[in-house]
Amino acid sequence: MADQEIENAVSRAIDDAPPRNFRETVDIAINLRDLDLNDPSNRVDESIVLPEGTGQETNIAVFAEGETAVRAEEAADTVLDSSELSDLGDDDSEAKDLAGEIDFFLAQESLMQDIGRYLGTVLGPRGKMPDPVGPDDDVVEMVERLRNSVQLRSGDRRTFHTRVGAEDMSAEDIADNIDVIIRRLEADLEKGPLNIGDVYVKTTMGPAVEVV
């Protein structure tokens, strides 16, 4: 159960947002402090499963062949084999389009080296290098897990954003998602809560409301 202050901030952010003719996402902005982000080891770069889901469609692509590819077809939005991977390596524009459309990538372990060679310069800077799928992994389960995941990525910036829900989700559910993110950061950062400054929540076009 999330802190009541977080839930109140989410409620205010949703209530204060002017009506729009589209379904808005709800995002948080997290300000880091007392961290040397020029040192890559201090940067935030991880995916987190949101307990209440993202409230939005998440696109997953899998690079695979054989049985893994057949299984991936059951759950993923896009499944690509080694020949299609090679073609992407020869078409930078198409590779960039794919990287923009897909939220998360998975790849059969045997294809990881080729992905690095063909797509490393496109996926790497975007923080979208695939998670490997081992021979004993359940690719369907991995895809479904990523459906409810968001990527936290600070780069060398002290302020970064991530999606935590959608405006038609309950404030309580969105607050639970925010609580999980904050707790994870507190556990992972060198000085825990001391490395987290202000946190704000807002809808896509609405005003920002301070969370903590």
Question: Based on the domain organization, do 51 and 153 belong to the same domain?
Answer: yes
Q: Domain with 78 in it: what CATH number? A: 3.40.50.790
125 & 159 share domain = no
| pTM for the full predicted model | 0.81
| 29: CATH | 3.30.190.20
Q: Are residues 47 and 90 in the same domain?
A: no
Residues 166 and 110 placed together within one structural domain of the fold: no
Percentages (nearest 5) of helix, strand, coil residues in the chain? 40, 25, 35
pLDDT at 127 over 90: no
In this prediction, residues 78-84 reach a mean pLDDT of 95
Domain boundaries, position 99:
60-146
CA pair distance 140, 142, nearest whole angstrom = 5
Shared domain for 18 and 76, answered yes or no, is no
**Rg, Å, the chain Cα set:** 18
pLDDT digits (tens, 9 = 90+) for 30-47: 999 999 999 988 999 888
Residues 13 and 81 in one domain: no
Q: What is the pLDDT of residues 180-201, one digit of tens each?
A: 999 999 999 999 999 999 999 9
Note whether 127 and 102 are same-domain residues. yes
